[in-house]
Structure 1
Amino acid sequence: MRASFATTALCGAIAASAAALPPNSGLPILRPIEELVDELVDLTPFESGGFELISPQQAKADAEKPDHFDPFQVFWPHGHDHGHGHGGGGKAAGHKPGSTSQATGAPELASPATPTPTPAVVTPKKGCSGFRERKEWRNVPDADKLAFVNAIKCLMRNPSAGNYPGSKSRWEDLVSVHQQLTPKIHMVGQFLPWHRYYLSIFESILRQECSFNGTLPWWDETKDAGHFSTAPMFTDAYLGRAPVKTNDGRGTCVNSGLFKGTVLHIGPGSNFTDHCLSRAVDESLTSEVTMDFVKSCNAHANYTNMESCAEMGPHAYGHNGIGAVMGDVASSPGDPSFFLHHAFVDHNWRIWQNKDVENRLYQIGGFTTQGGNTPVTLDYVLTSNGLRPDVKVRDVMDTMGGYLCYAYDY
């Protein structure tokens, strides 16, 4: 069952000696940064807005069943005119489980035993200029890692562009947009395209406003399953440490390194409160972010089934596994690790697309609202509330289609 994101009256995000914020006051807790640095954090406000999970066992069982026919599945076979003037694309009429591709004659459904992901296609297409390769964090030169985190710090220093509720900086403009759009971009068919669009906006803002010349890294979380707290980006030199959840179930403010003393003002949930950048790693959750789980989700040939599994599977376990700020659906971009995590999610989608480019590159499905009945089409408009111009779903389906121009290193 898909979750809804009802507005919840939350108390202050910081426990320990913090006074509670009166419900719905809308006023921040104004406290010196030094008082926030070493505090433990009550996780209740973050976890009450956490991500819904599907178990790896359920994902595997679902992957072993034939995909159901989704009458709202939309796709254009690779090589056809993708869109310009064709409305929402063609429905996959007549394509039922076990049918064959009209273009290739090959079985349309994927085998449950999905092979190891192959390297992304790295030949830029016509109109794809400024090609960039997104490298897994371990493959990024140290100087480029430092440039990336310094660019994030730059966004945290730069003033808000305005008109973004709760934002105190350009960094929080990004967080605010995610918070305000939360019900429209989670547990819906456009979840994957919107977050792909959002990553591209983040990357472009880093380049244009903070002189970042590199490329957004991604994090292969399967390599750190069960050991997120010691993952290579969580060090003083980069994104700050990621302490495990305390024995009494609390999180810890990031209290050393470049992000020491970072105070956020957006969230948890729909609130605007002063709270530290905090983490509370739960390795029992991170241990589930495995290649087997990714393969189970990617075994689906039906976009809707794949997306649902990916969102409530590795994506959700990664968020809840890091915990605290990352564990709150609405305000999770306040933690810089959000963007490496979502690049991992995007990478997995791209691997799924690459496995059958003919039928999957422009395949979309699901509904535009939680529990709704309006199907997502290739002409569905993705918005960032003015951070960058709106685009259509079709514009971001191909990572090297022109609007986007990147691939992953493997």
Structure 2
Amino acid sequence: MQSLVYLLALTSAATAALLPRVAPNLPASAFPTFSHLTQADFEAGKDNVTASPTTFTPFALDASPASAACSANPNVRIEWRSYPTSSRLGFIAAIKCMMAQPPSGNFPPSTSRYEDFARLHQMYMPNIHGNPKFLIWHRYFLWTFEMALRDTCGFWDPLPWWDETLDAGNFHNSDMFTNTAYFGHLPGPDANGNPVCIISGAFAGLTCHIGPGSSNTPHCLSRAVDESLTAQCNSGFVQTCNSRGDYASMESCSEGGPHAYGHDGIGAVMSDVSASPSDPIFWMHHSFIDHNFRIWQNVDPARTTTINGDDHFGVPLTMNTIVNVGGLGPNVPISDIMNTMSGIQIGAHTFCYKYSY
């Protein structure tokens, strides 16, 4: 009998050793979620955003050898379903590489180069949310992260993007979550309505040191999918937003519509307004949002050379407004990044990309 008990104890210990060590799981109430309106509300204009012609600042970009070179050979972001397996694995490996790099020291209490990005996002709230600076700032934030993957971890494949309209209401069945080589599973909440720590996939057992909210309490990477919310990341809702004629109005719909529903639908760490980049799926979600922004711009070339709306401080945005990413990349004027095909040189890299469709 004693031998059997000893054997069971050894088996239990061995099993525990194989499982990832998980930081404390925080309740759903710990994560400050995104605010959103329904598609019907946006169609009715209940976000109360109107065009602002007095702050609408045109800026004409002359044709240049740089833009011509970009058009001839752009970096094409590939939708996940068409993204080769080798590139998928390389992308995941590059993110893990960033997590293994020491922090810059400029964003305490970040514990890695990866968490520098999460901490920056947290520090810049609310300047980068709840106002028209949101879309253009996050475009540059995503691109800066992409360049860090290249410079720090040698990732040179095209960046993937996620067409969430094809998975709306069914995020958890995407192979991004079901394939254990990728982002880890997307569970529903537990019996008490709380999120679940992720113990599968490439980021199993990940400890997040940034967040929740403005605090920095170590906690596990957790999720709690609500497919009634992810269902709002559909093509009809995207079209509602993209049918708006000026930047500030389109931005309001995009941010408070598919963007907010995607974050809150995945739940927990991703629903944390301040520290959502702690979940690596953040970058895939924001590739979707930037894609929708780019599709809106494709309708009218003027949409790549003009902007309107006021920032968090009530200051009108112009094409000369500086976008700051806290030293993770150079500060740039909006005019440099409003057109993803500008071909403008930013630091050691050329700002030049489009989407596969």
Which category describes the TM-score, using the shorter chain as reference length? 0.7 to 0.9
Q: Which residue of 2 aligns with 1:222?
A: 165
Matched, 1:398 2:348: no
Q: How far is 1:184 from its partner?
A: 1.1
Letter in 1 for 2:232: E
Q: How far is 1:365 from its partner?
A: 1.6
Q: Which residue of 2 aligns with 1:36?
A: 22
2:49–2:248 Cα contact (<8 Å) kept: no
Q: Which residue of 2 aligns with 1:186?
A: 129
1:41–1:253 Cα contact (<8 Å) kept: no
Q: Which residue of 1 aligns with 2:250?
A: 306
Letter in 1 for 2:219: H
Alignment of 1:10-21 (within 5 A): none
Counterpart Cα distance in 2 of 1:362 and 1:54: 29
Q: Which residue of 1 aligns with 2:74?
A: 131
Matched, 1:285 2:233: no
Number of residue pairs aligned between Structure 1 and Structure 2:
329
Give ranges in structure 1 of 5+ residues lacking alignment.
1-32, 84-123
Q: Which residue of 1 aligns with 2:95?
A: 152
Alignment of 1:375-390 (within 5 A): 375-390=316-331
Q: Deviations over 1:37-89 (max 9, x none)?
A: 7x75411111xx211101111122339x996554222233xxx3469xxxxxx
Deviates more, 1:248-257 or 1:137-146: 248-257
**Local SS of the residue matching 1:135:** strand
Counterpart Cα distance in 2 of 1:165 and 1:50: 23
Counterpart Cα distance in 1 of 2:280 and 2:42: 28
1:67–1:301 Cα contact (<8 Å) kept: no
**Local SS of the residue matching 1:195:** helix
Letter in 2 for 1:378: M
Letter in 2 for 1:407: K
Moved over 6 A (4+): none
CA shift in 2, pair 1:289/1:267, >3 Å: same
Counterpart Cα distance in 2 of 1:70 and 1:223: 36
Counterpart Cα distance in 2 of 1:399 and 1:145: 23
Q: How far is 1:252 from its partner?
A: 0.7
**Local SS of the residue matching 2:119:** helix
Q: Deviations over 1:357-403 (max 9, x none)?
A: 1x21122121121xx43101111111111111111111110101023
Counterpart Cα distance in 2 of 1:353 and 1:250: 39
Counterpart Cα distance in 2 of 1:388 and 1:35: 33
- Supply the RMSD in Å over aligned alpha carbons: 2.2
Counterpart Cα distance in 1 of 2:57 and 2:238: 23
Q: Which residue of 1 aligns with 2:273?
A: 329
Q: How far is 1:257 from its partner?
A: 2.1
Letter in 1 for 2:168: A
1:407 to 330, 351, 354: 354
Q: Which residue of 1 aligns with 2:3?
A: none
Higher share of residues assigned helix? 2
1:59–1:293 Cα contact (<8 Å) kept: no
Q: Deviations over 1:274-305 (max 9, x none)?
A: 11111111111011111000000001111111
Q: Which residue of 2 aligns with 1:50?
A: 33
Counterpart Cα distance in 2 of 1:365 and 1:283: 34
2:149 to 206, 209, 213: 206
* Length-normalised TM-score, structure 1: 0.76
Matched, 1:239 2:179: no
Letter in 1 for 2:333: K
Letter in 2 for 1:72: T
1:238–1:257 Cα contact (<8 Å) kept: yes
Give ranges in structure 2 of 5+ residues lacking alignment.
1-18, 345-350
Q: Which residue of 2 aligns with 1:338?
A: 282
**Local SS of the residue matching 1:138:** helix
Q: Deviations over 1:138-177 (max 9, x none)?
A: 1100110000000000011111011112100011011111
2:97–2:153 Cα contact (<8 Å) kept: yes
Q: Which residue of 2 aligns with 1:374?
A: 315
Letter in 1 for 2:305: Y
Counterpart Cα distance in 1 of 2:51 and 2:356: 33
**Local SS of the residue matching 1:200:** helix
Matched, 1:361 2:308: no
2:54 to 60, 71, 79: 71
2:25–2:219 Cα contact (<8 Å) kept: no
Q: How far is 1:223 from its partner?
A: 0.6
